[in-house]
Structure 1
């Protein structure tokens, strides 16, 4: 493993590395990749978008094969293999030869199942006799044995028909067997091993690593079969039987360890609950929670590394799905502002304000405009509808002069804006109420009464009704005439 990967996070020196990109030499912690350990998917590098290594589960088995090769040589395993091989060799020519082979195979299957189960949970130590005798998982063990029996049937039929045919069948069966056994361990029944959709999903989730695993299993099975076939010409039957049991025991334990390791390494992609529960509480967060958080973290790293354009794209893609997320919008505002393109920044703010008003959030639009007023350099929203609703919200927030300014600058001939009379009457009310400018207020009212008398009457009627409901005096009692 790269030394950098084993050290500290590049952006949080007080946290250790959890995710590592070999191509970018980028070590990241769980803060840089929020919710990543809870999601059943690859964790992409924020810079190159390639899947990152999960440091918590170690390297792929082919990077350091020695621990896997010597795993079957544990003392308990060696004793078991010696006993099984001796039993089969001694009884190979007797009446109990078939019974000995069946019993030895059943014991080997049991041990392999326990090895897979323990390895999938992250254990690297060989199982003890107590763990092998644990009756809690015997039902799953039977499903596991049934799957191996199903896989052995075509190989046996090929051997009966022709030796070459058996070898041709052995290779694809050995390549598919790991996925079949994984399906049994994950789902707990043999039917999953025969479901091609389940097998396909497992292969896709593991990706290229499954190709290496399947190739290794197929080559080992083929090499063992050919070796035993050649030895059959020179060795007596009893010795060949014992040697075959020894070889298949070693191969079975090695394969079981590799399968368990892959289950543990790709536990998130496979949504393998037992392994996930052991590492972290596996509660899948809602998309509206984890997607914005991940986008913000990735965009922050991209911006730090100087790729501001990619950071904007990352936040923009997240905003397509979560347009109301305040954190995403605020960070996107900052990214646009840092581009030093005033026109682009104003166009962005125009869209933001319009969306807020359209969602009946004029107060949020007013707050956004006020907080960015300095950066906008006196700019006002171009869309009349946005100005109108923002002005009412600004008045409530104690900015009547700004509100009046917005209303007075509304276009008087915009055919797309149908609330101009009401906006002018609101401006007249504010002029009279806040600035005591009765002359300009009267001019505005006269203009509205002359062009939109019915709309003006309706507006004043609504105001009188609102005042009556709140036990206040009407705003413009002089209009009673």
Structure 2
């Protein structure tokens, strides 16, 4: 059964809280460690069960081109090359035979390492050292022991039931061959790998894709035999032997990688959890991502008070995080929380002004004055900031309301000239040219030290001609 996130129903879940029976996706659990399979439920604090990536990965039959490219990495090519070509240089004596057997063991060890490596979520071959160092050489001996037992089963069936039973036993042994290898790779024991109950259980859990895998095994065996026959018919034995060996080793890595990927794909059915390791680096711990997920979950649960508490705490930082301010604004306006809008109006208006959200500023000011008819902004810089944003979106009458008596309220403000230029531009947009000219003249008389003073004549000329007040045109002339 495919698991979906409780809060993002179209997204596959990666974590399950067995205590509160809630499933989470990666977005809900940004602080969980998928590589260590460790995370805690944000609701109850219990340790989460990791579900893995089995239901997200594409089916193995869609990755056939990637499978055939798999052996052509440096490490895997070196392993195949060493195990194939080095025996040609060995002396024909006991030492040469021992080295040959060691290389054969190393090759089998590496192929089984490919299965485990892929099952853990690695889509690139294991390092070269995996074949020749460390423990694990016994897996090759176990592999051959499984084959011997399979042959013994076929022989015993023939002895007991004659050719017909022997044929049936042979067909069964051939059919469960990939299952033998996969169970041996996972369990590292011969008993489970030859237990018919385990074999049938693995095949039934995977289902029909197992038979697709088996079909690929047959095709690769036939292709390997064809290449070997072609090599020995057309080349000298000294060349044909390493060539056929190299092709056989390449096909072996391809197929063992396919078996590992099939286990990776059906990990939930097989009772383990794994995720892509080569493509998804461990996420850095980021408190902001945890906050983001908590806010999202609280909102989707309808727990607006909790979401508000998280956001209020988050916006206390200096400077406040713009994304948190936006979330606070969206939440307060969606819930029509006029009290909290009043309490946080400075931060919200600054943020809206920075984004030139004039219409939103007009709506917020209307909400604030609706709650308190006597409300007026008392920060001259913020007033001018909002006025410019209002003007940029054509909210010109709101500019006039906001800037009313500005020079009387803040006679010493350095923002008078900038604010009244915005007023003049708004009046011009409304077609009130005489009033616009009056404000421009006020700036000219009172703002002699302001940088705008030198541009006022150009604005006045535009007002006389009833043109939009855009100031002097830019000049690119270079003086001689």
Using structure 2 for the length normalisation, give the TM-score: 0.44
Using structure 1 for the length normalisation, give the TM-score: 0.44
The structure with the largest helix share of the pair is: 1
